[in-house]
Each structure stands twice: as C-alpha cells, then as structure tokens.
Structure 1
Amino acid sequence: MCKLSPKDKEFIYERYYNVYQRTAGYRHSLFLNDIGFTMHLSPIDPKFHCHFNATLKIHRLFFTSAIPIEIIEILNHIDWRIIRLDIFYDFKTRVLDSLLFKHHKTLFDSGKLYENETFYVGNYNSKRRGHILAHYDRQIKEQKRDTGIVHQFPNRMETRFKFTLKEMPIHNIQHGVILKQMKRYLFISDIEQLNTDKWRRNRIRKLQYNFGLFSTYPEKEQKKIRELLKLEREPLEVMYAANAHELFNFMDYDKKAASSANGLVPPVDLLELETFEEFDYEEFNEKEGGTMDKQQQNLLTKIANILQDPLQTPLIDFEELCGTYSRKKVNALNDQLDILRDEKYINFSREEYGFRIELLPTAI
C-alpha cells in the first residue's frame, strides 16, 4: 500500500497503460494471475485518498515465478509499505497430533479449537492492527474445494502480521521485528515426540479441544507444560531467517542475499544480526546520561526484562510489576509509569487486568 505522487503514477502508466479493469473499489486494477500479482490504483471512494491511493497483493506464486522487469521496477522505484504479511509453515504430521499453544492467556482464541476447520489465536475478525495465528489442515480445504490435490505436508501453521503504514517499508523490511514476534509463538508439530511422560502428553493433547482446561491444572503443572513447550517448540524464527533472503530477493536492497544462491556471497544471517539480550540500565544510563531516580531505574529494568520473555505480550499483569494487588500499589505504579512516559522511555495504557506497555527507542 502507498500514496502515489503524480510522478509515481506516470512511472506506472509508462509500463502498464491500457490493460486495467475497473473493479468495485478501484478505477484501475491490474491482474497478473500467472505470477500471483495484483495492483489496484485510484480508489473510487474519495475518503481513502488522504491515506493511500494504491495497493498491491502479492501471492505465494509470485515468489517462485519469473517476474517481469516492469514489475521489478515498480516495486523498487515506489515507496510501498507492507500492512499485512502472511508467512506459513507446513509439516508432514497430522493436525490432530499438533498444538498451537496460546503464548499469552489474555489472547483471543476461536473457541472449540480443533473441532473447527481453522483454529485462530488473536481476533481474526478485528480490523485493528494485531498479529494473528491460524492452524488448519490443508487437505480438508482441498476436499471442500473438490480440487483433487493431495498435499505431502498437510499440517499448516500460519502467521498473519499486520503493520501500520510507517512500520514496514518494503525497501527496508524490519526482519528483527518479525523474528522477535516469532520467538513468542509456541507451536508443537507432533505432541507424541515431546520429551515427557504419556500422562503429561495426554494433558497437553486435551488442550486442543478446550484451552480453558489449562487454568484448571495445578500451578506447578502449568509451569512445567509452559517450560516444556517453550523448550520443544518449532523454531519458527530460525526457519524464517533461513529463507527470508530468498523470499525478498526481487528487491534491490536484498541483492546480496539473492546472489548467494549463485555462490557469490553468503546469505545474511538474520539471527546473528538480531540480539535479545537483557536490558542493562547501568550501561544505558552511562551512554544516554539518564536522570531517573533508582526506583524508576529499577521499574524500567523490570519492564524491559519482562518484555524479553517470549511468552510475554505488551499487556503486563499488575502482580508482575507490584506484587500482591492493592489499589494503593497500583496507583503508585501508575505515577511511576507516568514519569517514565514523560521522560519518553515508554508508552503505556491502563487496562482492566494490567498495563499495556511499549518500550520506546530511547529505552532500548
């Protein structure tokens, strides 16, 4: 998606002029179905023009097709922004032998889990920014479509990232943001291969049909299950890092990675570039010359360290920050967070069960 300038429009029309169709939402739509590429220009509804006037849809076929030079030029010349990015992982195992575990208890899920065709973590009906996970059997979908296709890897876990226009420019994809989010996700492709006893595997399998059972397990058992799943989860971020250079090799900024397929240069190791170290306030304070008192220093350190946990979302429970709940403690904590926000270390909002906190670049 982007907002085209007059020169951008001229650049596109010089390459594709008399080939557009008028669709329900756009005056000009270009469909290149043989390579999985769709471009929409000039929304009919004028209210959209203050935000954007062009959108692209790139399907998986695009990444394995020979791309026309005109499309490469359009992608590289114009400042496109990614607002949704779907990345899927396929496994040979059965869906009924695997589990997509909610990485935070407050997340929305789609209910009766594996009794439905698709299980979602995150609100898949929401139009708001937010990342969603989906888990489903590809073979069931093919049977419903009566395609006759048989998949060798029928078990699909899919990540659906949503971004704002400012977050993810296509010319400078923030792989670190994607990697950090993927490290949170807990997907087990084969429950039977978990390194635990049959009794615990059965408890984990029951979560397929009712995730609410997890809260009924003893606290020690909940902790052991979380630790086990965290240890034996599929390393989604490693898989992404190993293939990202091939996915985006049609962009100029990724020419080095694209050349690696011919043995010219090694691909960029995204995992080495991205670090997830604990927040060290003393080092930060020395470099930035901070003026916080010790109480605020300790609070900022605690927040940063909590957010490093792959199981943690930006919504932090009251008890994690101030111990046993009391109104007095929560109000005092709110005052300290106000100070950190005024100093531009964090953004936060207070919600029913905790604080939704975002670390700003000055605190990272």
Structure 2
Amino acid sequence: MISDTDIPVITYVTPKGGIAASAGTFILISGHVAVMTPGTTCGAAMPVTMSAPGDSPQAADQKTINFLAAHMKTIAEDRGRPGDIAARFVTENLSLNADEALEQGIIDYTADNLDSLLAKVDGLEIDVNDKNIILKTKDAEIVSIDKNLEEKVINVVSDPTVAMLLLMLGIYGLIIGFNSPGFFLPEVLGAICLILGLYGIGTFEVNLVAGFLIILGVGLLVAEVFTPTYGILGVGGVISIVLGILLMPLEPMMPIAWFSKFKVMAIGVGVIGAGLMLIIIAGIWRLRKLSPVHGVEEFANSKGVVIEELNPYGQIKIKGEIWNAVSMGQTTIPTGERVRVVARNDLELVVEPINENK
C-alpha cells in the first residue's frame, strides 16, 4: 500500500526506547522518508516458526528466509537505501540503533520529536511514483486519525492470541449451554465468541493440521459430556486442543516474545479445559451415587390419597400425580383414605391403607 501511494509517506520510529522489529522494519524502510528517534531500534526481521509444541521458536525454512530477504532488499533499493544491509535484517537478524541506521543509510534522519522531524524535512524534494514532490511541512497542522469502531474490533480479534481465546470461549460456552439447556446465556455468548474467533483466525495464516486437532479436541469434549467416560475422552480432547493451538500460527514475522506469550495462553486454555472436565466428571460421579428417582424405587414407601375408591382397582394421588392403583390383598379402600405404596407393577401401584392409630 505504501509502495503504490501517490502521497509522500514518512515512517517514524518513536518514542525513545521504541522498536521497529520484524514486520515493523519492512514498514520503516518502505517510507519515502524514514526517521528514527535517538534511542530506538530497528531490524531483527528473521522469520520464525514454532516447529513442535513445547519447542522454542526456530528460524523459518531457508526458502521463506530467502524470499523475505529478497523482498526487503527490493523495497530498500526502490527507496534508494542499501539493499545488502536491508537483506541482513532477515538473513542475519541484524539490529541497528538510530545512529547506526542513519550511518548505514537505512534511514534519512533522526529526530527527537515530531516538530523536529517536520522542521528537518521541510523543503525536501522526493520522488513519488516518478513525480517530484517538495514537502512543505513548516507549521503544518497535525491531524490524528483514530480507528473507527470496526477497525478497533478487527484490530483486537485479528491478534492470533485473542482469536484463539475467543474460539475456545465459544467452544466451552456452547458445550456448557448444550449440557444445561434452558438458560440460553452460555449458548448466545458462546456463539458470538466462536464467530469472532473464526473471523480472527481468517486474518492470519494457520496450520491446517492444527485446525483438525482443534476440531478433534472439540469432538472429544462433546462426546465426554454426552457419553461420560470418567475423563478419558475429555483429557484426550484437552490435549488435542492444546496441541492444535500451539501449532496453529504460521505467521513468520511474529516476534519471538509473542510465541512465548502464545505458548502460555495455550497452556492456560489447557488448564481451564482440565478444570472444566474435572467439574463435569465430579458432577457425573455425584449423580451416579444418588439413589434412582425413577423406576421401581421411585414411590417406595411414599404416601398418597385415594381419589377413586379402590375396589380393588382405582386411582390415587401421590407426589402431585394421579396413578392407577390396586389395593394389596384385594381389599376395598374408600375415597379420601391415606395409603402407602408397597410395590409397583409397570404403570400401576400396589398400596395398603395407613393405620393412623399405629
């Protein structure tokens, strides 16, 4: 975009202590005028990747390095900067401070602040797409362009770390919602997070195998919820998701520090998933220990009231329900008499009168 514009672009690394590393270096040298504040740094643009879960980020394959080095060199030479030095940002992970970058010809000026920058470039004649343009920056009005709401949202969800967190929150929300229907909040929030996460993932390059691992992990978690295996499928699902997250990003220009943070996030997702599985398994274990509430034992020794005379067949009301009943011993029990359930034959209860005097 900077290469094709007809408007002069000044790239400026500031404030003091700031860096233009990795992809930032590409942006810096793309400007028609490149400027750095003293105390800033540029370079370290060697592409990296995480080859296996748990490993430290490694240099990308030589094909990728050669391609990006050639691209960096082309951009630099197109702006009249030394292509060999620019290529070393990629091939050797070269870093330069502001003074070194100025001496090597990577940048055009150093400036302590924006006012100083504008004063230095005032009257400078530069070539923009074969057109000579003279910069008139003296007393120029500075207009800050803020991101609109859409750009802010895209900027947040396009971060691979945020995208993966949204994806996992969406998945866990849907699993919780489907396991306890009727509340709707987990399903709604889960669906929103899932859509935002999928959108964010679509903005950067991903590993297809990692995607399959995450899908497999989700399937195993769902299977654990609906066909409890005391954690076997759940643990497998969590492990599969964590491996998928670790292998997901293939962006070669992400800084090494980002990969470390991403690894911590993946482990955090695993811990949360393990905690969720522990809660589900504990709940299932408690349910398995409860006495049955249906079947033969549902009305054992429960008391009811005759609403249709048992002679010996009739009806009783018990626990708010009306049931067909038969009196034990084929005796007659009048309406309004209290009875106790002694047995159950399918949809018919066997009862006996309660002797209130006992």
- Would the TM-score normalized by the shorter structure come out above 0.5? no
**Higher Cα radius of gyration:** 2
TM-score normalized with structure 2 length: 0.24
TM-score normalized with structure 1 length: 0.24
